[in-house]
Amino acid sequence: MGKWMDGYLEKLAGVRRENAGCGGPERVEIQHSLGKLTARERIDLLADPDSFDELGSVVREFRLPGQEGGRPSPADGVVMGLVRVNGRETMVYSIDFTVMSGSMGDQGVWKIAELIRMAGQEQVPIIGIFDSAGSRLDIRNGFVGLHGMGRLVRDYCLYSGVIPRLSLVLGPCTGPLAQVPVLSDFMIMNSNTGFLWMGGEVESDGAGSADFHMEKSGQCHLTADSDQEAIAMAKEILRFVPQNCWESPPALKSNDDPERREEALLNIMPDDPKFTYDMHEVIELIVDNREFFELQEDFAPNMIVGFARFDGMAAGIAASNPDELSGIMEPDSSDKYDRFLMFLDAFNIPLITISDTTAFPPGDKWERMGVIRHGAKNLHGYSHLTNPKVTIVLRRSYGGSNIVMGCSKMGPDFIYAWPTTEFAPTGPEMIVQAVFHKQLAKAKEDGNYEDVYNFFLNILKKEFSVMTFGKLYTTWYTVNEVIDPRETRPRIIRALRATMNKKEKMPEKRRFIKPA
């Protein structure tokens, strides 16, 4: 090797030493004291051993001739590159809070924008790790940085539905940059250090926190108690999703019997429909090894969404939960359901819908909240799904919520019902009150109200039973088969196998227009 190369290699080694030191030992110590890992430690934890190939390592804050010196800016505060996660090629960027509090400068923004373009072009997932105080307070860099932000956001949106996009908010994330995690497919926040806020004063306790964005705004999918847990969650999500929209979700070899029948399913549902049960119990009994990866657990808990496997095949589950608000489809649950459906369809991940719901809630309160508009999103969204779809109806399937939860004429590939299922335009109790009000009024005078009420109710419940509707295979609410609850898992698995090569096309159009 010639001596002329020595000087260049020495410069490169110097750049790498400076980058490895982040913003300096004092800043690293502060970062650790706050319970946070550094940007590089986070990538090391995410990536398979020795798989990180850094990109843009020599980049520094842009300075005009004569303005050299001043604050060090290793990698301009953005560490990024190629990694393998669980053996799969992925791209990652991690904002370095030890460099100027993670504030975004001109070059850092453009680095991220370029990495997003590369991930979209190479069709691999991209993971962003956020720990930033916002844009740098520099008129020159702020302006140029916002110009780069436009490119960053545009490409991030254009590759929606093409590649999986994950964001981890492990520190502050404010200003225009706060929109990027929300644009992601999944956002994970550290409950102790994560903070997401667009701008303005924080006027209420907990605003901007992980719990706030999980329970109130519904923008957070998962919360973690540490950086390590958040990164483990991101790695788990990747196990369920494909590299891009043209590939199939990864399947794993399962050690759980695909023909397993669960006797316990016969005992979950209470005899009296006035009582509730927790749908989580049903889900855990039918999925592989009782492993269900739930998302947005504390937002609109009357709708359950998450990932699971059936004989090793990845699937998304969307289930109404009678234990919360009787499983009604109110605006928040409708939004939660709609977004999950869109992700599954974009990446051709099968949808298992499990329904036991009393319909959309009536009344002035809900109408003011836009219950019709939000429910219309579900009707529109489900109608456009082309991924494999299997519906299981367990008990009540009333009103418009029956349609949005994948009824027979909405196009599921398979629809099964337990023999306890009732299909009705609304709850039979309400119909009894509306249709037989004169008879009930007289019965109240005669002192036999309960007997008369139950007489009419039992007649209606028999008429609304799937065992009655099932006699008319195409006319009314129908199912492909009424099944023994213990057959639920084997039926789902066989249906998923049958749909592996399905082809379903929508009418040709430029794009669809979702209800507001």
What is the architecture, at CATH level 2, of domain 3-238? Alpha-Beta Complex (3.90)
Letter for the amino acid at 155?
Answer: D
Quick one: pLDDT at residue 429?
A: 75
- The predicted model gives 503-509 an average pLDDT of 90
What is the pLDDT confidence band of residue 415, given thresholds at 50, 70 and 90?
very high
Contacts of residue 130, Cβ cutoff 8 Å, sequence gap at least 6: 95, 167, 168, 169, 170, 171, 173, 177, 180, 181
What is the pLDDT confidence band of residue 67, given thresholds at 50, 70 and 90?
low
Q: Residue 291: how many CA atoms within 13 Å on its side-chain side?
A: 16
Torsional sign, CA 37, 39, 44, 45: positive
Common-topology check for domains 3-238 and 263-421+465-498: yes
Rounded to whole angstroms, the Cα distance separating 419 from 92 reads: 49
266-282 pLDDT per residue, tens: 999 998 877 899 999 99
Quick one: pLDDT at residue 171?
A: 96
Quick one: pLDDT at residue 201?
A: 80
Contacts of residue 398, Cβ cutoff 8 Å, sequence gap at least 6: 357, 358, 359, 422, 423, 424, 425, 426, 427
Burial (0-12, 13-18, 19+ Cβ within 10 Å), 38: buried
Contacts of residue 387, Cβ cutoff 8 Å, sequence gap at least 6: 344, 345, 348, 349, 350, 351
Rounded to whole angstroms, the Cα distance separating 321 from 302 reads: 5
What average pLDDT does the chain have?
90
pLDDT higher than 50, residue 142: no
What is the architecture, at CATH level 2, of domain 263-421+465-498? Alpha-Beta Complex (3.90)
- The predicted model gives 97-106 an average pLDDT of 89
- The predicted model gives 239-253 an average pLDDT of 96
179-195 pLDDT per residue, tens: 999 999 999 999 999 99
Q: Which residue ranges make up each domain of the chain? A: 3-238, 263-421+465-498, 426-464
CB-CB contact of 251 with 326 (8 Å):
no
Residue length of the chain: 516
Quick one: pLDDT at residue 234?
A: 98
Quick one: pLDDT at residue 66?
A: 59
